[in-house]
Amino acid sequence: MIKQKAKITVTEQRLIEFFGNLGGLTAFAVRFFKTAFFPPYELAEIKKHMDELGVKTLPIVSVTGIIIGLVLTLQSQPVLVRFGAEGFLPFMVSISVVRELGPVITALIFAGRVSSGIGAELGSMRVTEQIDAMEVSAIDPFKYLVVTRVIACSIILPLLTMYVIFLAIVGCYVAIVLVKDMTLQLYIGQIIDAIKFGDFIPGVGKTIFFGFIVGIVGAYKGYTADKGTEGVGKASTTSVVVASLLILIMDMVLVKVSLWLWPV
């Protein structure tokens, strides 16, 4: 008597896909580290991707930085007034922006724009067999297409984060001027007293990991895309979701580590 195969439920299928993607992404990241530190070094490509991924992201992160400072200040000011601690408003906003809000929100904005773009670009090259043509031409497509983009993301995101932090602090001052009278000199003095060099290390340092996540996820989804244009669209959308989720998980881990190494 022939035994019928048990049908796989939707939940089981999704679990299989999840762990398959997790294993594939891990192997992809290991391959990156095995390839990135050996010549040839595509410095020109890295510089080009830093320009494409970084400079073209400046408008959206500029607006984001100003809004972070404005909204956080306007929301926190009534609460601090209730407890008689309005004078601590610059301290609270600056520390929050430097250590957590600035890095995480910038990384999520960066992932939404860059990870999807990398996934769509490499996915299009995969389904149109351009990557296969590079392999036939004795060019390492992994180093030329993947390694350069991941390194560019890891370098440019910390720079964008520092830029967003500066704009958020400016936005905080604008909001304070709207709700109370404070001179610029007094505000700058309070910011200098509040922010220490040890606050920048965990805040900006973890964006190196965030940039790596954005680059490696987008490159993996695009590099392994299939099924024609449908696969390109799927690579673009799933790369944003996966990158954003991994950024939040990584942030949870790095916050615990940073508080242990650099307590507030």
Which parts of the chain have pLDDT scores under 70? 1-7, 10, 227, 262-264
> Residue 6: what pLDDT?
55
Does some domain include residue 254? Answer: yes
> Which residues fall within 8 angstroms of residue 32, CB to CB, at 6 or more apart?
146, 147, 150, 216
pTM summary value: 0.88
Does some domain include residue 183? Answer: yes
Compute the distance between CA of residue 260 and CA of residue 264 in angstroms, rounded to an integer: 9
Let me know: does 54 contact 78? Beta carbons within 8 Å: no
Q: Three-class SS string for the chain?
A: CCCCCCCCCHHHHHHHHHHHHHHHHHHHHHHHHHHHCCCCCCHHHHHHHHHHHHHHHHHHHHHHHHHHHHHHHHHHHHHHHHCCCHHHHHHHHHHHHHHHHHHHHHHHHHHHHHHHHHHHHHHHHHHCCHHHHHHHCCCCHHHHHHHHHHHHHHHHHHHHHHHHHHHHHHHHHHHHHHHCCCCHHHHHHHHHHHCCHHHHHHHHHHHHHHHHHHHHHHHHHHHCCCCHHHHHHHHHHHHHHHHHHHHHHHHHHHHHHHHHHCCC
**Which residue range forms the structural domain that includes residue 203?**
14-261
> Residue 10: what pLDDT?
67
- Number of domains comprising the chain: 1
Compute the distance between CA of residue 110 and CA of residue 54 in angstroms, rounded to an integer: 9
Does some domain include residue 9? Answer: no
> Residue 1: what pLDDT?
44
Compute the distance between CA of residue 54 and CA of residue 42 in angstroms, rounded to an integer: 18
Compute the distance between CA of residue 118 and CA of residue 30 in angstroms, rounded to an integer: 19
Does some domain include residue 250? Answer: yes
Does some domain include residue 4? Answer: no
Q: Which residue has the tokens 């595509």?
A: 42
> Residue 7: what pLDDT?
66
> Which residues fall within 8 angstroms of residue 209, CB to CB, at 6 or more apart?
250, 254
